Structure 1
Amino acid sequence: MTLRPQTIILTGMSGAGKSVAMQALEDIGFFCVDNLPPALMPRLLEMAEHASGTLGKVAFACDLRGGALFKPLLMTVEELRQRKDMDVVLVFLDADDATLVRRYKASRRRHPLSPSARLTESIQQEREVLASVRVACDIVIDTSDMAVGRLKQELQRHFQLHAERMPVHVLSFGFKYGVPLDADMIFDVRFLPNPYYVDDLRPFTGEDDPVYDYVMQWPASKQFVTKTEEMLDFLLPEFQSEGKTHLVVGIGCTGGRHRSVAIARHIANHLRALADVDLTHRDRNREG
């Protein structure tokens, strides 16, 4: 059985944030194609339809950069909507003139419509050309006062993507081999008793039950994981509401074989009720 993709067609004023919006949609699972002529959209969607669900969500951005190729946009949207079960949403990004001028001045780019004209004249001309497209759009988003995170929240709200589970990578490591550069937060568990100094436990790792049980038996260990998990329970939905798409949590001890591995196991198991968790032990197999 083939799956028809959910399709967003993003258009609007140059400088209103289409590039940022496409990045945000890509972060939340859309296959994104920028500056695609509308006439090519049906063909690409036919390919996506037969891709075994791998392209279940598709977003196109198109605007007046395409020149004459942009003109069939509304006709193409109507054609797509006539197809059975085709879910197509036309989104228009807008901003006030002052904001557009400020953004163009900051980027030092020329307006694509009339590069040789004054910027204010080009913006006004673009508004006139796009007036009928704006009226036909399902969603109009004014980005004048929006930071990047706020625009992402707005897209999530409209397309009900905020309920998706955040990917969380729990990573154990050894400080002696360096702190992971991509970690969003680091927890240091070197204050806990070290199984390395227990002869019978030294050859094993925190993935082995004797070491795990040894690490977790201490009151400090139990209090640490309780407090840490409570904090992560609070932080995950807050991060997600601000538009964060993934989180890397680092748990470090001296060598990355015993304490950090055991604690990371415990925290990862807890977080699986809230997020899509990937557990990695970076230094578990290092010697000494």
Structure 2
Amino acid sequence: MKQIVVLTGESGAGKTSALRHLEDLGFYAIDNIPLSLVEELIDLIEESSKIEKAVLVVDARSPEFEQKARELFSRLKERHPNLSIWYLTARKEKLLNRFKETRRPHPFQRFYPDKNLEELIEREKEVYEKLFSLFDRTIDTTNLTVHDLKRLIKELLLLQKPQLQVTFLSFGFKFGVPQTADNVFDVRFLPNPHFVPELKRKTGMDQEVADYIFRFPESQEALKKIKELVLFTLPQYEKEGKAYVTYAVGCTGGQHRSVAFAEILAEEVAREFPEFQIFVEHREQGVRRRVSEEGCSGRPPEELSRLPSGEPEKGRKPLQGR
């Protein structure tokens, strides 16, 4: 059976790179196809004895896309059970940066000459929101390098489930909210070890700091609720096709409460999802390490207030842009 991929998605989200990777993997590649020609081309591919794999880029650059894409995609899925539709997306901030770096005009500029770049990106996203239910695979390229995207495409074609990479990131609100966060939790309402003299110079990676934080019932309850949300959303992110997910936990300075929460959440989730790559990162300390495959402590789930003791890494500069 032939393998046919219809590639669509937002401008700047990586369709050109994905098309190139698929072509390198032996796919017959056709870019920027008018909607009126798509069905005829697919019929020709199905009839050809020389084409076994093909990828077609169909996107909102076509003036008729918004009006006709839903009907076309629905019809293609009915007529061609071997066809899959891949949707590439990225966060607005990332798309803005990509367009500024390349200095290329947004394709929607010809449709909406009076809109600025941010408005054009938002308008294009609105077009695709109406089509979500028709996509077989959604690929968020916000945090993907070209090499990450190539690896992910290979995994998808081999019908292997991509290994989701999950980061629990601690940060200080006074230094800004991390732009890479998919979810942000604020724990500034909890008792602060900063005001305990013997704990002030330590971090949430120190056992005595974690013991202090989790002696309070409200800390235990907050941890329980955050963990419940994480355990619920992770399978949904995997189903959506995301390669990277970041849960950020913030306190005032990013030294005590957020660090302790990120540590215990990473360890607990690594136990629940051994098939994922789990990382913990402390932005204000410049520390990032992998929790999965390092081995968990084996403590029972109810013992939430105990964290591995140990000193933060020294001599490292804060991670930029995290």
Pair in the same fold by TM > 0.5: yes
Mapping for residues 27-176 of structure 1, pairs under 5 Å = 33-36=21-24, 60-63=25-28, 104-105=33-34, 120=37, 123=40, 127=44, 131-133=48-50, 141-143=82-84, 150-152=135-137, 159-162=158-161, 165-176=163-174
- Report the 3-state secondary structure (helix = DSSP H, G, I; strand = E; otherwise coil) of the residue aligned with 1:284: coil
Counterpart position of 1:177: 175
Counterpart residue number, 1:263: 261
Match of 2:220 among 214, 219, 222: 222
| Distance across 1 between alignment mates of 2:42 and 2:215 | 71
Indicate the percent of aligned positions where both proteins have the same amino acid: 28
Q: Given that residues 28 and 53 in structure 2 are in contact (C-alpha distance below 8 angstroms), is that contact kept between their aligned partners in structure 1? A: no
1:209 alignment partner in structure 2: 207
* Structure-2 separation of matches of 1:250 and 1:135: 44
User: Secondary structure of 2:137's match?
Assistant: helix
The one-letter code sitting in structure 2 at the alignment partner of 1:284 is: Q
Matching of residue 17 in structure 1 with residue 3 in structure 2? no
- 2:229, 2:248 → 1: CA distance? 14
Q: Secondary structure at the match of 1:33?
A: helix
Q: Evaluate the alpha carbon distance shift between residue 133 and residue 258 of structure 1 in structure 2; reply closer, same or farther with a 3 A threshold.
A: same
How many Å separate the matches in 1 of 2:190 and 2:200?
A: 15
- Kept in 2: contact 1:215–1:259 (CA 8 A): yes
Would you say the 8 A contact 2:45–2:51 is kept in 1?
Answer: no
Question: In structure 2, what is the Cα distance between the partners aligned to 1:197 and 1:136?
Answer: 63
**Does structure 1 residue 240 correspond to structure 2 residue 238?**
yes
- Residue type matched to 2:83 in 1? D
Kindly indicate whether the alpha-carbon contact (under 8 Å) linking 1:18 and 1:61 is maintained by their aligned counterparts in 2.
Answer: no
Distance 1:135 1:34, change over 3 A: closer
With CA pairs under 8 Å and 6+ residues apart, which has the higher RCO, 1 or 2?
1
Helix, strand or coil: the match of 2:166?
strand
Matched to 1:151, the amino acid is D
The aligned residue for residue 194 of structure 1 is 192
Q: SS where residue 82 of structure 2 aligns?
A: strand
Larger Rg: 1
AA partner of residue 208 (structure 2): P
Checking the alignment, whether the CA contact within 8 Å between 1:168 and 1:247 is kept in structure 2 is yes
> 8 Å contact 1:261–1:284 — kept in the other structure?
no
Do the aligned residues in 2 keep the contact of 1:172 with 1:281 (CA within 8 Å)? Answer: yes
SS in 2 for 1:132: coil
How does the TM-score come out when normalised to structure 2?
Answer: 0.50
Any idea what SS the aligned residue of 1:206 has? Answer: coil
1:278 corresponds to 2:279: yes
Alpha-carbon shift at residue 259 of structure 1 (Å) = 0.7
Letter of the aligned partner of 1:175 in structure 2?
F
* Aligned CA distance change for structure 1 residues 11 and 61 (closer, same or farther; 3 Å): farther
* CA apart distance, 1:157: 8.1
In the TM superposition, what whole-angstrom CA distance separates every residue of 1:89-144 from its partner, at most 9, and x where no partner exists? xxxxxxxxxxx9xx7347xxxxxxxxxxxx7499459716852246799x963247
Question: Cα distance 1:180–1:64, how it changes in 2: closer, same or farther (>3 A)?
Answer: closer
Match of residue 115 from structure 1? none
Tell me, in whole angstroms, the C-alpha distance in 1 between the residues paired with 2:38 and 2:209. 71
Displacement, 1:227?
1.1
Contact kept, 8 Å, 1:11 with 1:18, in 2: the verdict is no
Aligned partners of 1:33 and 1:61 also within 8 Å: no
Residues 200-253 of structure 1: per-residue CA shift (max 9 Å, x gap): 110111111111110111101101111111111111111111111110010100
RMSD of equivalent CA atoms: 4.1
- Uncovered stretches (5+) of structure 2, i.e. residues with no partner: 55-79, 89-131, 139-152, 287-316, 318-322
| Structure 1 alignment gaps of length 5 or more | 1-9, 37-59, 66-99, 107-118
In 2, the alpha carbon distance for the partners of 1:136 and 1:265 equals: 45
Quote the Cα distance in structure 1 between the aligned partners of 2:45 and 2:195: 76
Q: Which amino acid aligns with 1:142?
A: L
- What CA distance in whole angstroms lies between the structure 2 residues aligned with 1:121 and 1:271? 44
Inter-partner Cα distance in structure 2 for 1:254 and 1:179? 11
Cα distance between partner residues in 1 of 2:283 and 2:241: 28
Tell me the TM-score normalised to structure 1 length.
Answer: 0.55
Counterpart secondary structure, 2:179 = coil
**Aligned pairs, how many?**
194
